[in-house]
Amino acid sequence: MITHIDLSSVLRRTVCELYSNLVTRPTGAAVRGEIELQLTELRDRTLTVIDFTNVGLLDFSCADEVVAKLLLRYGADDAPGEAYFLFRGLSESHLDAIESVLERHALALVLQRADGTAELHGTVTAQEREIWSTLYDRGRVSLADLPAALGRLDGDAEAAVDGLRHRRLVMRFDDAYVAVGATP
């Protein structure tokens, strides 16, 4: 299931109708709380598009509260659900703040560019990036095709992709894997 969350609307609804900037920790915590509330209402596996398009400024504190804490919570072993995130509408200054918090927590996310293509941001190894790119390019890779696609032995390939799934950068559908942001 794919859901879309317009952060600007969430900000205006939960904090103040007049605000257009995501600044301060209390604001970030309130916005994240609303996102989490929406996610708990969706019980199945979800891919949520977090849309920054109409957000003016994003400061470091708010980036930490909204982005880092969301990724940390849903990437944890006791995550409340199987949620994946695709970030859209990020400006250069949004990315500045987000890259800093991703680095601080050793996190990564998938960003959708304006042309619809996606790219990885944050802390990823060269191997993780290579695997994610391969899966992204192929759209959907079945378990049976995984070793050949990645050029690895059976167990190695599955373990490597599973690591990315745990980081919420790759989704698993029954017998196949799909990179977050890819078109299956």
Partner 1 sequence: MTTVINVPPSLDEASFEQVLDQLAPLPGDEKILVDARHTRWASPYGLTALLALAQTRADRPGFTVPEAEDTSSYWARTDFFKYADDLFEIHGSVPKSRTIGESSVLLEITPVSGSGDVHDVVERIQQKAQAILANELNIDNKVTMGFAMTLSEVCQNIVEHAGRGGWVAVQTYRWQKRLGRRVVVIAVCDAGLGFRQSLESAPGWRRSDRWDDAMALEEAVIRGVSRFRDPGRGQGLAGVRKFLGRWDGKLSVRSGTARIAITPTWDEDVPLTERLASFPGAQVQITIPERIVSR
Q: Is 165 in the site for partner 1 (CB under 8 A)?
A: no
* Token representation of residue 175: 């017998």
Q: Shortest Cβ distance from residue 64 to partner 1 (Å)?
A: 4
**48 contacts: CB under 8 Å, gap ≥ 6:** 2, 3, 4, 5, 35, 38, 39, 83, 84, 85, 86
Per DSSP, the residues of 14-40 read HT-TT---B-SHHHHHHHHHHHHHHHH
121 near partner 1, judged by CB under 8 A:
no
What is the spatial distance between Cα 48 and Cα 87, in angstroms, rounded to a whole number? 8
Nearer of residues 60 and 82 to partner 1, judged by Cβ? 60
Indicate the residue among 16 and 153 with the shorter CB distance to partner 1.
16
Query: From CA 44, how far away is CA 173, in angstroms rounded?
Result: 12
Contact positions with partner 1 (CB under 8 A) in 43-82: 56-61, 64-65, 68-69
- Which residue's CB is nearer to partner 1, number 102 or number 124? 102
What is the closest distance, in whole angstroms, from the C-beta atom of residue 57 to partner 1 in the complex?
5
- Binding footprint of partner 1 on the chain (CB under 8 A): 16, 18-21, 23-27, 56-61, 64-65, 68-69, 91-93, 96-97, 100-101, 104-105
